[in-house]
């Protein structure tokens, strides 16, 4: 985008400066000056965004508002008469902004850091302007085909098989990984028990369907099983090893045991980059077990998939080509604003069989290249989400994205070394990607009181350290629980972060540790 693009959004039948008063007959509800208003306020808004993004580091990361404060500051009912953009934007800036937690901030290190980048902002704006809905191919060929192409580009980066293989992977965009994984669970059920679509999940006396995932898996897997009617008791949490990776031998034993008890193991969800510690499940061994029992394998790499784009990290998705489905969130580490979750499967036939309400035999007139997206999931409507990802992939290109991801991983290692060098702290998990988990060890020699009380006291100190650090407004970090103990977790992942930001966060942690 270095040159001025050849892009003039002018209506063919109206000059660029036409006002709506002239373009429209009297009697419609469109406000006078509708397009002129937009042009003016649109430029102002873009200026506001540019100013915001270039000075974001000066803001507090966490909103300092009290519960109910924004709610109470807003009028009790919507206006009878329309208002000006000026009034709306002023209230946005003065009332709404103070209540915003700045996820785009370079010192946002909580959960998984992310970036809503400028090309995606423009893509979102255009998607909203078009308001095109790709429920089936004809309702908007661009939605279906640009999504297929963009996800195919991303598929290549993730190293999943494409058109060159017998089973090319098919991609579709959903809102979140939670939705993607729920669809994977429905596919898994469809593969082993197509009757369930008609009769419900646990029909007849065939034994319960059982899903396996590690005790470190994201809660969305269990939620998906709840939503699909598998039932929480049929989600078995496979124990993980000392490095928080699923124990594949334990998985094999659990599946064999359930099978012997007359149950129906049908799905395994492996996590590449768990939410707490970013551990990597042993996918090749997990696929071996699943293949023996004819189970569907779903890979949740919502966060860490971005690392697989790097040649030196490609191995994290080894054996993924033997899995059945995979989810990766572009809205985590891939520069795309919430929400855009890429769901891939090498069995789109099963996905379609599970969700299509138009029998296949009635579809003979359909061109096989014309995908009707409504047949591949719960939602009927399908917004033009892929447009922003297309902007992102084109604007940054693979080299810049690789450089960013590589840099974040290197900084995480550098931070891990700082933690290791401070005797007051211990690292609580390996650092395969850009997240560092560690804890304050606490004062030695708590000889009085039981060990449990000591643990609780130190857990409290770790929480207090986080509170103090976050209260500075300079950074935002969050914690997790590993092996039953409170730990501090720092996630790097924002485009605008520089090493000094990470260093500042660590300095604040080290200082707070001296005060608890
Ligand atoms: C973030 C995350 C999720 C949930 O993502 P949503 O898009 O918010 O549903 C699921 N699994 C893993 C491993 C994650 O890191």
Task: Decide if domain 133-383 falls under CATH 3.10.290.10.
Answer: no
Q: Take residue 516 and report the two structure tokens written for it.
A: 């608890």
> 178 C-alpha vs ligand 1 centroid, how far in Å?
6
Q: Take residue 502 and report the two structure tokens written for it.
A: 């990470």
Answer yes or no: is the C-beta of 113 below 6 A from any ligand 1 atom.
no
pLDDT in tens, 93-142: 999 999 999 999 999 999 999 999 999 999 999 999 999 999 889 899 99
Given a cut of 50, the residues of the chain with pLDDT beneath it are 1-5, 9-18, 20-23, 362, 364
Of the residues 283, 329, 333, which should be mutated to test ligand 1's pocket, given the most ligand atoms within 8 Å of the CB? 329
pLDDT in tens, 263-312: 999 999 999 999 999 999 999 999 999 999 999 999 999 999 999 999 99
CA 430 from centroid of its chain's CA atoms: 22
pTM, entire model: 0.93
Q: Are 424 and 328 in contact (CB under 8 A)?
A: no
CA angle 420, 422, 424 (to 5 degrees): 110
Q: Are 190 and 235 in contact (CB under 8 A)?
A: no
Indicate the pairing of strand 296-300 with strand 264-271.
Answer: parallel
Domain spans of the chain?
Answer: 133-383, 393-515
pLDDT in tens, 33-49: 999 999 999 999 999 99
Q: What is the pLDDT of residue 469?
A: 98
Q: Are 266 and 258 in contact (CB under 8 A)?
A: no
Q: What is the pLDDT of residue 5?
A: 46
Answer yes or no: is the C-beta of 150 below 6 A from any ligand 1 atom.
no
Ligand 1 atom closest to residue 339's alpha carbon, by position in its atom list: 7
- The SS3 assignment for 234 reads helix
Q: What is the pLDDT of residue 200?
A: 82
Q: What residues does 301 pair with on adjacent strands? A: none
Ligand 1 atom closest to residue 300's alpha carbon, by position in its atom list: 13
Ligand 1 atom closest to residue 111's alpha carbon, by position in its atom list: 1
Name the H helices within 210-316: 219-228, 248-260, 283-293
Phi, psi of 482 (to 5 degrees): -125, 135
Q: What is the pLDDT of residue 204?
A: 74
**What number does CATH give the domain 393-515?**
3.90.1150.10
CA atoms within 13 Å, Cβ hemisphere of 325: 30
Q: Pick the residue whose CA is nearest to atom 1 on ligand 1.
A: 302
> 220 C-alpha vs ligand 1 centroid, how far in Å?
7
Ligand 1 atom closest to residue 341's alpha carbon, by position in its atom list: 7
């Amino acid at each position: 985008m270095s040159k001025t693009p050849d892009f003039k959004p002018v209506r063919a039948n109206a000059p660029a400066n036409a006002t709506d008063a002239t373009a429209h007959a009297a009697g419609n509800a469109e406000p006078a000056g509708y397009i002129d208003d937009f042009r003016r306020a649109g430029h102002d808004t873009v200026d506001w965004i540019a100013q915001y993004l270039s000075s974001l580091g000066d803001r507090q990361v966490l909103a300092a508002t009290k519960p109910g404060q924004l709610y109470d500051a807003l009028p009790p009912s919507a206006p009878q008469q329309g208002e000006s953009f000026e009034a709306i934007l002023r209230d946005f800036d003065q009332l709404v902004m103070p209540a915003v937690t700045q996820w785009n901030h370079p010192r946002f290190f909580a959960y998984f850091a992310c970036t809503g980048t400028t090309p995606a902002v423009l893509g979102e704006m255009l998607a909203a302007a078009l308001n095109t809905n790709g429920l089936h191919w004809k309702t908007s060929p661009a939605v279906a085909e640009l999504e297929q192409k963009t996800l195919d580009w991303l598929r290549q980066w993730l190293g999943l098989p494409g058109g060159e293989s017998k089973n090319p992977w098919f991609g579709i965009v959903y809102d979140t990984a939670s939705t993607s994984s729920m669809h994977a669970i429905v596919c898994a059920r469809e593969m082993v028990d197509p009757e369930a679509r008609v009769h419900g999940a646990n029909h007849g006396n065939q034994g319960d369907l059982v899903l396996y995932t590690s005790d470190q898996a994201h809660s969305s897997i269990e939620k998906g099983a709840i939503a699909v009617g598998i039932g929480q008791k049929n989600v078995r949490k496979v124990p993980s090893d000392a490095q928080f990776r699923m124990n594949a031998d334990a998985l094999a034993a659990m599946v064999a045991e359930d099978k012997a008890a007359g149950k129906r193991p049908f799905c395994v969800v492996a996590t590449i980059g768990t939410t707490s510690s970013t551990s990597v499940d042993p996918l090749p061994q997990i696929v071996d077990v699943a293949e023996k029992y004819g189970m569907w394998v779903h890979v949740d790499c919502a966060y860490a998939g971005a690392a697989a784009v790097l040649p030196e990290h490609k191995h994290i998705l080894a054996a993924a080509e033997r899995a059945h489905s995979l989810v990766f969130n572009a809205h985590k580490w891939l520069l795309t604003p919430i929400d855009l979750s890429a769901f891939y499967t090498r069995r789109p036939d099963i996905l379609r069989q599970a969700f299509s309400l138009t029998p296949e035999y009635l579809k003979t007139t359909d061109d096989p290249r014309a995908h009707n997206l409504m047949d591949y999931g719960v939602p009927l409507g399908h917004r033009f989400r892929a447009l922003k990802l297309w902007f992102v992939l084109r604007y940054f290109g693979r080299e810049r994205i690789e450089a960013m991801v590589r840099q974040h991983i290197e900084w995480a290692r550098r931070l891990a070394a700082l933690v290791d060098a401070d005797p007051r702290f211990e690292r609580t998990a390996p650092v395969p990607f850009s997240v560092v988990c560690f804890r304050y060890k606490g004062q030695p020699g708590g000889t009085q009181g039981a060990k449990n009380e000591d643990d609780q006291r130190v857990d409290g100190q770790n929480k207090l350290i986080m509170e103090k650090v976050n209260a500075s407004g300079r950074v935002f970090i969050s914690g997790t629980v590993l092996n039953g103990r409170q730990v501090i977790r720092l996630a790097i992942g924002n485009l605008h972060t520089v090493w000094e930001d990470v260093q500042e966060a660590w300095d604040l942690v080290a200082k707070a540790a001296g005060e608890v």
